[in-house]
Amino acid sequence: MRNSSIDVSIVIVSWNVREFLKACIDSIISTQGNLSVQIIVVDNASDDRSVELVRSEFTEIDLIETEANIGFGPASNIGLQSAKGRYIFLLNPDTVLQEKALIRLIEFLDSHEDFDLVGPQLYSPDGSIQWACARRLPSLALMLFQALYLHRLPFIGQQLLNRMIAHYDLSESQEVDAISGAAMLGRRSVMNDVQGFDEMFLHTGEDVDLCFRLRERGSRIFYLADARVLHFGGQSSSQAWARSGTMGVLSTGRYLTRTRGRFHAWTYRLIVQLVQMPIMVIVGLMKALLRRGEPQDIRRRLAFARGVWRWRVDK
């Protein structure tokens, strides 16, 4: 098959989510219609027999195995290097494509040459739409608001958060600042130009940074509400909660350094270390004393706080 005959290369980075991965691949196959699709699975050293599943049930898939869990960004970039399609679809394994979702995304880019990236409507198992599928680029004020737990204030916290996030109307298709890395379709030529995700991000933030860099180069980004994808969310990160949380905080600091400067990044770091982490640990201790929550909750909170205080992720 010639490279030009492949419509889309779908890159899926997977770590210990065997059953979700199977459902995701099944949904691609059942909804691709007449599209020519290349599926690339990059397995981040899973130990749940995900590799055996792909080898035995999906023999036409391009399977790439890493020797260790190298993270979402680097693993995605490895998959991008093997992509041959006109478009690249970055897709989380804990997603299920709904009917014609992929077809509609590709049809949009085919008919709108002035856009380089498009994302679907992501929704949770309870039917609620996930705000991250169409969002503004985050500001320091928003990050500090959340770090100080102000969004949990009774009566007004959530209203203030919604105003700061400046939610788009997720029922309407429209141009947006950023979309979620859980499902994003882009032109392969453009993705190659920006060299995929920046690997300085440890966990989370890669997708927002990619959207930021694309917009900096003049690319436009679109949110397509009538292309729907079920997204379970957090299926890999929840298996290593403290480590993932630490990496997320450090990645946020790196994003602020790139987009807002060192002063904003240091302000965020100090607030997280001196305010957010103590509050989180105190709440955990109170829950433990009152015997509420799971026994391992305080241990996870302490591990998270220790990593953030050191501002590094332990190997």
Report the alpha-carbon distance of residue 59 to residue 110 in Å, rounded: 29
The pTM (predicted TM-score) of the whole model is 0.83
Q: What is the pLDDT of residue 180?
A: 94
Per-residue HEC secondary structure of the chain comes to CCHHHCCEEEEEEECCCHHHHHHHHHHHHHHCCCCCEEEEEEECCCCCCHHHHHHHHCCCCEEEECCCCCCHHHHHHHHHHCCCCCEEEEECCCEEECCCHHHHHHHHHHHCCCCCEEEEEEECCCCCECHHHCECCCCHHHHHHHHCCHHHCCCCHHHHHHHHHCCCCCCCCEECCECCCCEEEEEHHHHHHCCCCCCCCCCCCHHHHHHHHHHHCCCCEEEEEEEEEEECCCCCHHHHHHHHHHHHHHHHHHHHHHHCCHHHHHHHHHHHHHHHHHHHHHHHHHHHHCCCCCCCHHHHHHHHHHHHHHCCCCC
Higher pLDDT, 222 or 248: 222
- Mean pLDDT to the nearest integer, 111-124: 97
Please give the biggest Cα pair distance in the chain: 64
Across the chain, mean pLDDT equals 88
Is residue 239 predicted with pLDDT exceeding 60?
no
Q: Report whether pLDDT(7) > 90.
A: yes
> Cα Rg for the chain, rounded, in angstroms?
20
Buried-state track 82-108, b at ≥16 Cβ within 10 A, e below 16 = ebbbbbbbbbbbbbbbbeebbbbbbeb
Provide mean pLDDT across the span 253-265.
86
Whole-number percent of the chain with pLDDT over 70: 93
Angle between helix 140-147 and 241-259 (nearest 10): 150
Kindly tell me if the per-residue pLDDT of 135 is higher than 50.
Answer: yes
User: Residue 3 has what pLDDT?
Assistant: 47
> How is residue 138 written in tokens?
């985050």
Residue-range domain boundaries for the chain: 3-134+170-231, 139-168+236-315
pLDDT at position 315 = 57
Is residue 148 scored above 80 in pLDDT? Answer: no
- The 10s digit of each residue's pLDDT in 167-214 is 789 999 999 999 999 999 999 999 999 999 988 776 678 898 999 999
Average of pLDDT values for 239-243?
A: 63
What would be the CATH architecture of the domain defined by 3-134+170-231?
Alpha-Beta Complex (3.90)
Parallel, antiparallel or unpaired: strands 183-187 and 117-123: antiparallel
52-61, 158-167, 274-283: the lowest-pLDDT one? 158-167
User: Who has greater pLDDT, 62 or 137?
Assistant: 62
CA gap 161, 168 in Å, rounded:
13
For position 165, what pLDDT does the model report?
A: 67
Which tokens sit at 199? Answer: 């690997």
pLDDT at 140: 79
Least confident of 61-70, 73-82, 95-104, 293-302: 293-302
pLDDT in tens, 26-75: 999 999 999 999 999 999 999 999 999 999 999 999 999 999 988 889 99
**Token digits for 193?**
């130009």
- At residue 251 the predicted structure's pLDDT band, cuts being 50, 70 and 90, is confident
- In this structure, the chain runs to a length of 315
Closest CA to 124 of 43, 232, 28, 37: 232
Please tell me the distance from the alpha carbon of residue 257 to that of residue 196, in angstroms, as a whole number: 19
pLDDT score of 184: 97
- Residue predicted with more confidence, 148 or 60: 60
Query: What is the distance in angstroms between the CA of the first residue and the CA of the last residue of the chain?
Result: 42
